Homo-oligomer: A and B are copies of this chain.
């Protein structure tokens, strides 16, 4: 029951993480933060949108765990959150599984294909 709950929670988290990454502005924010923490104003600075729109995108990112924010005094500092690794792990596991299958298929074909034409059985 605990495991099922954890699996369901993770599915829900992945829904939000991938949804958050499906927007170019939000990917741009994650890209910026991957190079170091930034205040909300620093994040907003290169973007051609209202501060309210920036804060909304940030809320989606924070809700998904892709970004964490911390307010010290009057400045809210944003950082990359743990969900980026969660999303990476999900994709990497599927890509690896798929490539292992292709490798096995390659091995099988190499083993079963004759190096030189064999005589047919009579």
Copies in the complex: 2
Partner of A24, one of B15, B30, B34, B97: B15
Number of A interface residues at 8 Å Cβ cutoff, please give it.
Answer: 31
A92 with B88: CB separation less than 8 A: yes
Dominant SS among interface residues on chain A: helix
Determine, out of A49-57, A79-87, A107-115, the stretch whose residues face the partner at the interface: A79-87
Q: Is A21 an interface residue (CB 8 A)?
A: yes
Cβ–Cβ < 8 Å partners of A93 in chain B: 34
A34 with B80: CB separation less than 8 A: no
Q: Is A35 an interface residue (CB 8 A)?
A: yes
Cβ–Cβ < 8 Å partners of A19 in chain B: 18-19, 22
Cβ–Cβ < 8 Å partners of A24 in chain B: 11, 14-15
